[in-house]
Amino acid sequence: MSNPTAAMIVIGDEILSGRTRDSNMHHLAGQLTEAGIDLKEVRVIGDEHGTIIAAVQAMSKVYDYVFTSGGIGPTHDDITADCIAAAFNANIDVRDDAREILAEHYARSGTELNAARLRMARIPDGAALIDNPVSAAPGFKLENVHVMAGVPSVFQAMVASVIPTLTGGAPLISKTLRIERGEGDIAGPLGQLAESYPLLSMGSYPFQKDGRYGAHIVIRGNDDEQIDAALAELEAAFQ
């Protein structure tokens, strides 16, 4: 059976403007790979109600799991929670369990739980909270969509909370062969090999350093024996 599939929606004008570099996709991809869940698509979108709602509705129908990052903070442009609620026609308001988490967190630091901070306790009806051990404000899961913070340290902590709750498949195995030939020489045999092993993914990544050139051929799949056999055939073709 094939592995479960996943998609990610990275939300934030600051990502699209180049002001902030996204690292959350890279982290999530690695964690999902280890769990045997195939990340199939990533979209980077701005802080726009219609765009967020449309992306969530479309991707939640296609993939087993959807993950969002960004837009659940205390400021006026943090609109992700409202958009997720709208996408699933769910009511959203300050929820007692989320309020309690924030109240305890800010009481410990002697900080006021003001109206802006209380926005982070607005959770859609029917959603399950995602733990945030870094800064307390929870994420949430509604249907198959996991809504998480954009701050990398918080996002990573939330991913650590979520991954054990997911049903995964066979972890992806990746092995690499270095071939010191031009890609024009490699392309033919590699294409034939790919046809012989349809369940494996093969990629060619050129390098040039210290007067040497060639490509690293990366073969990925879930069957270790098939990967080793494919690598052996490819190596033999260039001996």
Q: Indicate whether 211 pLDDT > 90.
A: no
Integer Cα distance of 222 and 172 in angstroms: 5
Q: Indicate whether 1 pLDDT > 90.
A: no
Confidence (pLDDT) at 11: 98
- Domains of the chain: which residue ranges? 5-165, 173-237
- pLDDT tens-digit series, residues 76-111: 989 999 999 999 999 999 999 999 999 999 999 999
Confidence (pLDDT) at 170: 87
Confidence of residue 172 (pLDDT cuts 50, 70, 90): confident
The class of domain 173-237 in CATH terms is alpha beta
Specify the CATH number of the domain 5-165.
Answer: 3.40.980.10
**Over residues 130-143, mean pLDDT:** 96
Q: Which residues contact 93 (CB under 8 A, 6 or more apart)?
A: 122, 123
Looking at the chain, the whole-number percentage of residues with pLDDT higher than 70 is 100
Looking at the chain, the whole-number percentage of residues with pLDDT higher than 90 is 93
Q: pTM of this prediction?
A: 0.86
Integer Cα distance of 62 and 67 in angstroms: 13
**Assigned token pair, 126:** 């029917």
Sheet of 173-179, strands arranged across? 173-179, 212-221, 201-209
Confidence (pLDDT) at 239: 81
**Over residues 8-18, mean pLDDT:** 96
Confidence (pLDDT) at 210: 86
**Over residues 60-65, mean pLDDT:** 98
Instruction: Output the average pLDDT for the chain.
Output: 95
Confidence (pLDDT) at 2: 85
